[in-house]
Amino acid sequence: MRKSDEVPKVRVRAVRRRDGVWDLYVTCPYCGKKHHHGGGNGEVPNLGFRVAHCGPDVPEHKGLPEYELV
């Protein structure tokens, strides 16, 4: 089980679409590019842990790099 203090916390920009689904946008702490994640369709966006889309492109990171959306 991961501990939240072991992965970077990344501020998210949450945008609710017309269909009620949340789009979550972040700047990746590993590659610096913009990444997009789904945030569900609840009253508030579903944040928490995500795997960075650049995972295989970050050779210095063991396993898949992840971060916590806050």
| CB-CB neighbours of 17 under 10 Å | 10
Q: What are phi and psi of 45, to 5 degrees?
A: -65, 145
Measured distance CA(29)–CA(27) in Å, rounded: 6
Range of the domain at 52: 4-69
* Residue located via tokens 């990171």: 61
More confident site: 67 or 4: 67
Q: Tell me what the mean pLDDT of segment 41-67 comes to.
A: 82
Which pLDDT score, from 0 to 100, does residue 1 have? 41
Q: What is the tally of structural domains in the chain?
A: 1
Give the global pTM. 0.81
Which pLDDT score, from 0 to 100, does residue 54 have? 83
Nearest to 22, CA basis, from 6, 1, 46: 46
* Residue located via tokens 């990344």: 10
